[in-house]
């Protein structure tokens, strides 16, 4: 006791006590400010303070794209909270190809926005309206069309900002780097969702419509350059969604195909090779085809299956459910 009473007090002059008090108040102030949203507090304050907003709600698509873009290119996906494990799985595969820095996650709800940016600051953005119970009010209203057409609207906005955009659904896994396959300087690149096996040297033109007069281009993976042609295609897609009289139930793929058909003579289109970008309806359903073409696959799409658990099991069974054993390779961690 005597020892403690003796030295410290006399060392701390009245002025330094006041100084310490002020510093404490300042620190407390910072904590209270950031504390409005607990997820928003990072141990590394220098990385958080390098963002132009104090709440991720105010983070705009322009700010987010500027942050994420490398080589004028962004890789975007759109995710709601239940699909975070699929986002993580996809991100591990993207990281293995060293393209994760360009990823921008379009969060469909606030939980996803705060979760992703909490673990990986700056890589998620939310463009209102958010997906929540209120969104159900939009069904059947004019606003709902805006919600269904959010994918082409977000892609168009990124093109207007001048970026190349690679869009992916998150039920995909990259096995190789897709960028070398984006040959030439076409406006847009996409994949066929039809399961019919094509010759290796198939045409890169838009496929002919089938007997029903329709094509099955997938809206799941699209690469766009910021050209007038690509912007025209996105505008047509939005218009087709808004004009559509049939109930699309949130499925924007038929409208994408109508837009491709109607703009085909004005837009420079490029169909990617089937063997490199196979539909899940071929890759998962014809094992002998998958065996014969092994080593040629670039992105695998886990479609042609219904249900979250079934999708997850199918990835797991084929060794592409990476999140259990390789979570540390993801920028989001566990
Ligand atoms: C904080 O973040 C900055 C920028 O991301 C980084 O350069 C720095 O190394 C980080 N510091 C620590 C202690 O993690
Ligand atoms: C940047 O993109 C161009 C094509 O748009 C590509 O040829 C080039 O290799 C890329 N550079 C880097 C560093 O990724
Ligand atoms: C739909 O989107 C357009 C363009 O973004 C906007 O001007 C309009 O107000 C939106 N309508 C509704 C009902 O949200
Ligand atoms: C693909 O190759 C076959 C046989 O080698 C040839 O007959 C066919 O014309 C080629 N198709 C295209 C689109 O180049
Ligand atoms: C567009 O669709 C119509 C009707 O199915 C078809 O006749 C036409 O060939 C298609 N055009 C292109 C460029 O695919
Ligand atoms: C595909 O390859 C796997 C592993 O090599 C083998 O077990 C399986 O029998 C093959 N399936 C077919 C249909 O060829
Ligand atoms: C599966 O793929 C093989 C080629 O590997 C093909 O000969 C066969 O017709 C395909 N089966 C079906 C049902 O499409």
The atom number, within ligand 6, closest to the CA of 290 reads 1
Tokens 């066929």 sit on residue: 192
Residue 288 Cβ inside 6 Å of ligand 6? The answer reads yes
- Residue 90 CA to residue 86 CA, distance in Å, equals 6
Ligand 6 centroid, distance to 201 Cα (angstroms)? 25
Residues 6 or more apart in contact with residue 65 via CB below 8 angstroms: 74, 104, 158, 161, 163
Residue 175 belongs to a domain: yes
pLDDT at 191: 98
Q: Which two tokens stand for residue 243?
A: 């004009």
CA distances from 292 to 178, 273, 316 (A): 20, 16, 21
3-state helix, strand, coil in the chain (%, to 5): 50, 15, 40
Does one domain contain both 136 and 13? Answer: no
Does one domain contain both 22 and 107? Answer: no
For 213-239, b/e burial (b = at least 16 CB within 10 A) is: eebbbbbbbbbbbbbebbbbbbebbbb
Does one domain contain both 39 and 105? Answer: no
- Residue 235 CA to residue 155 CA, distance in Å, equals 10
pLDDT at 244: 80
Around ligand 4, the residues with Cβ closer than 6 Å are 199, 201, 203
Q: Which one of the ligands is nearest to 202 CA?
A: 4
Q: Residue 32 — φ and ψ, nearest 5°?
A: -65, -40
Give the β-pairing of 188-192 and 269-271: parallel
Does one domain contain both 31 and 150? Answer: no
Residue 135 Cβ inside 6 Å of ligand 3? The answer reads no
- Residue 183 CA to residue 113 CA, distance in Å, equals 34
Residues 6 or more apart in contact with residue 157 via CB below 8 angstroms: 61
Q: Whose CA is nearest to atom 14 of ligand 3?
A: 143
Does one domain contain both 38 and 183? Answer: no
Q: Which one of the ligands is nearest to 127 CA?
A: 3
* Secondary structure E strands in 36-132: 73-79, 103-107, 124-126
Does one domain contain both 212 and 323? Answer: yes
Q: Whose CA is nearest to atom 1 of ligand 4?
A: 201
The atom number, within ligand 3, closest to the CA of 141 reads 13
The atom number, within ligand 4, closest to the CA of 203 reads 13
Residue 334 belongs to a domain: no
Residue 88 belongs to a domain: yes
- Residue 51 CA to residue 216 CA, distance in Å, equals 41
CA distances from 230 to 76, 233, 259 (A): 16, 5, 11
The total domain count for the chain is 2
The residue range of the domain holding 16 is 2-48
Residue 277 belongs to a domain: yes
Q: Whose CA is nearest to atom 4 of ligand 4?
A: 201
Residue 143 Cβ inside 6 Å of ligand 3? The answer reads yes
Cα distance from N-terminal residue to C-terminal residue, the chain: 48
The atom number, within ligand 3, closest to the CA of 129 reads 14
- Specify the long-range contacts of residues 13-16, CB closer than 8 Å, at least 24 apart: none
Coil vs helix vs strand at 232: helix
- The pTM of this model reads 0.82
Residue whose C-alpha is closest to residue 100's, from 73, 127, 60, 62: 73
Residue 146 Cβ inside 6 Å of ligand 3? The answer reads yes
Residue 216 belongs to a domain: yes
* CATH code, domain with 289: 3.90.550.10
Beta bridge mates, 221: 168
Does one domain contain both 106 and 23? Answer: no
pLDDT by 10s per residue, the chain, length 334: 444 444 444 444 566 656 666 666 555 544 444 444 444 444 434 345 578 888 999 999 999 999 999 999 999 999 999 999 999 999 999 999 999 999 999 999 999 999 999 999 999 999 988 876 555 444 445 455 666 789 999 999 999 999 999 999 999 999 999 999 999 999 999 999 999 999 999 999 999 999 999 999 999 999 999 999 999 999 999 999 888 866 666 788 999 999 999 999 999 999 999 999 999 999 999 999 999 999 999 999 999 999 999 999 999 999 999 999 999 999 998 7
Residue 44 Cβ inside 6 Å of ligand 1? The answer reads yes
Does one domain contain both 182 and 277? Answer: yes
Which one-letter DSSP state was computed for residue 70? B
């Amino acid at each position: 006791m005597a020892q403690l009473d003796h030295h410290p007090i006399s060392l701390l002059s009245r002025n330094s006590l006041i100084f310490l008090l002020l510093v404490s108040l300042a620190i407390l102030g910072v904590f209270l400010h950031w504390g409005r949203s607990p997820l928003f507090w990072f141990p590394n304050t220098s990385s958080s303070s390098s963002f132009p907003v104090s709440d991720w709600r105010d983070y705009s698509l322009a700010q987010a794209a500027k942050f994420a873009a490398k080589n004028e290119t962004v890789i975007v996906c759109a995710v709601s909270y239940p699909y975070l494990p699929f986002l993580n799985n996809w991100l591990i595969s993207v990281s293995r190809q060293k393209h994760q820095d360009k990823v921008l996650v379009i969060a469909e709800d606030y939980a996803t926005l705060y979760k992703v940016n909490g673990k990986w600051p700056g890589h998620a953005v939310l463009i209102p309206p958010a997906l929540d119970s209120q969104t159900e009010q939009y069904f059947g209203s004019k606003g709902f069309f805006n919600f269904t057409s959010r994918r082409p609207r977000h892609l168009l906005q990124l093109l207007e900002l001048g970026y190349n955009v690679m869009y992916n659904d998150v039920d995909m896994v990259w096995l190789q780097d897709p960028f070398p396959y984006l040959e030439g300087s076409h406006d847009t690149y996409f994949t066929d969702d039809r399961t019919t096996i094509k010759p290796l040297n198939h045409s890169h033109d838009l496929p002919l419509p089938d007997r029903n007069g329709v094509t099955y281009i997938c809206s799941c993976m699209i690469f766009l350059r910021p050209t007038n042609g690509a912007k025209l295609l996105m505008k047509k897609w939005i218009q087709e969604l808004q004009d559509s009289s049939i109930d699309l139930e949130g499925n924007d793929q038929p409208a994408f195909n109508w837009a491709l058909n109607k703009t085909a003579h004005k837009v420079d289109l490029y169909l990617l090779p089937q063997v490199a970008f196979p539909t899940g309806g071929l890759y998962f359903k014809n094992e002998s085809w998958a065996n014969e073409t092994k080593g040629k696959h670039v992105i695998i799409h886990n479609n042609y299956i219904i249900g979250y658990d079934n999708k997850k099991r199918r990835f797991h069974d084929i060794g592409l459910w990476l999140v259990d054993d390789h979570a540390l390779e993801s920028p989001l961690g566990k």
